[in-house]
């Protein structure tokens, strides 16, 4: 009986060792896969930076930038489509490794993520129907209804300067804003000029719309440029991304991507 129990215990130990070997192999393989793949979060609803084609593919300025960065880093890009309002929580939950989705660098976001150097800069502006012109002051904006992205960078500026003056409707995507702006459910939209250009001005329906007022660039309110975000503390990843962005400028790729989508220059200063 004792010998039987000893034999049984020996078999259990062998089985446990085999399980540990299999688990260790799986973990090692997973780490290798992660090292060879860069998962990046992008909202896929911010044309021309990112948008879904009729065939269901995601294309755009940010997608081209992401593909260049992955190529420079020697990894495979894996796109994770994520709604804008949940994009930072998705990063911090490990759903993706980086955010490449035209995220403006500002102090509040720096508390939640670590940013690369800016990979482009973009002024903000109002867009409205051509039959509507107004000054960007309390009198000019009084009674206006604005379409705005949830968590958009200029919201704090609007709250500080024009609280109680304007009504704000909040949206998750650019196409929804365009639809309501054209339908007259809001008077104007405040966002980056390239986004407005790609969503509306460059389209046939954009012929009846124009930019209103000056370009808005004060870093206190409108950010320090647009960066790529990683989780706090991931300094090594940021160094690799910064090197890739620097090379993208040095070899002329950024200009090619810029000119593919815009008739104006977004180069960082």
Same domain, 129 and 198: yes
Question: Rg of the chain over CA atoms, in angstroms?
Answer: 24
Per-residue pLDDT averaged across 184-190, rounded? 98
Same domain, 59 and 189: no
- The domain tally of the chain equals 2
Paired sense of beta strands 98-104 and 37-42, if any: parallel
Same domain, 59 and 94: yes
Q: Which CATH number characterizes residue 70's domain?
A: 3.40.190.10
More confident residue, 27 or 156: 156
Per-residue pLDDT averaged across 197-201, rounded? 93
Same domain, 39 and 105: yes
Same domain, 142 and 58: no
Same domain, 133 and 209: yes
Report yes or no on 26 lying in a domain.
Answer: no
**Residues 101-151: tens digit of each pLDDT:** 999 998 999 999 999 999 999 889 999 999 999 999 999 999 999 999 998
Report yes or no on 62 lying in a domain.
Answer: yes
Same domain, 130 and 209: yes
Question: Residue 2 pLDDT more than 50?
Answer: no
pLDDT score of 10: 57
Same domain, 234 and 115: yes
Instruction: Give residue 47's domain range.
Output: 35-121+225-261
Please choose, from the candidates 37, 41, 122, the residue with its C-alpha nearest in 3D space to the C-alpha of residue 88: 41
Report yes or no on 2 lying in a domain.
Answer: no
Question: Residue 180 pLDDT more than 80?
Answer: yes
Report yes or no on 66 lying in a domain.
Answer: yes
Rounded distance, CA 254 to CA 99, Å? 18
Question: Residue 246 pLDDT more than 90?
Answer: yes
**Residues 210-220: tens digit of each pLDDT:** 999 999 999 88
Report yes or no on 135 lying in a domain.
Answer: yes
CB atoms within 10 A of CB 136: 15
Same domain, 218 and 230: no
**Residues 42-87: tens digit of each pLDDT:** 999 989 999 999 999 999 999 999 999 999 999 999 999 999 999 9
95-98 long-range contacts, CB within 8 A, separation 24+: 95/39, 95/41, 96/39, 96/40, 96/41, 97/34, 97/38, 97/39, 97/40, 97/230, 97/237, 98/38, 98/39, 98/40, 98/41, 98/228, 98/229, 98/230, 98/237, 98/241
Give the global pTM: 0.72
């Amino acid at each position: 009986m004792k010998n039987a129990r000893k034999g049984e215990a020996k078999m259990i130990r062998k089985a446990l060792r085999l399980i540990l070997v299999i688990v260790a192999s799986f973990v090692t393989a997973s780490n290798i896969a992660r090292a060879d793949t860069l998962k990046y979060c992008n909202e896929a609803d911010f044309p021309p930076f990112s948008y879904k084609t009729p065939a269901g593919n995601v294309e755009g300025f940010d997608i081209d930038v992401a593909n260049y960065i992955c190529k420079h880093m020697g990894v495979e890009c894996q796109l994770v489509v994520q709604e804008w309002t949940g994009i930072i929580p998705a990063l911090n939950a490990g759903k993706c490794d980086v955010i490449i989705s035209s995220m403006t660098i500002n102090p509040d976001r720096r508390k939640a993520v670590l940013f690369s150097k800016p990979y482009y800069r973009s002024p903000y502006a109002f867009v409205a129907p051509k039959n509507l012109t107004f000054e960007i002051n309390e009198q000019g904006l009084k009674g206006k209804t604005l379409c705005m992205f949830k968590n958009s960078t200029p919201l704090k500026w609007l709250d500080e300067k024009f609280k109680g003056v304007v009504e704000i409707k909040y949206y998750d995507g650019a196409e929804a804003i365009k639809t309501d702006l054209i339908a007259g459910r809001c008077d104007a939209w405040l966002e980056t000029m390239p986004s407005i250009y790609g969503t509306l001005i460059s389209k046939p329906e954009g012929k009846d719309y124009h930019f209103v007022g000056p370009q808005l660039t004060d870093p206190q309110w409108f950010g320090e440029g647009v960066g790529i975000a990683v989780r706090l503390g991931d300094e090594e990843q940021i160094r690799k991304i910064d090197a890739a962005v620097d090379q993208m400028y040095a070899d002329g790729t950024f200009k090619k991507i810029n000119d593919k989508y815009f008739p104006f220059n977004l180069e960082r200063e």
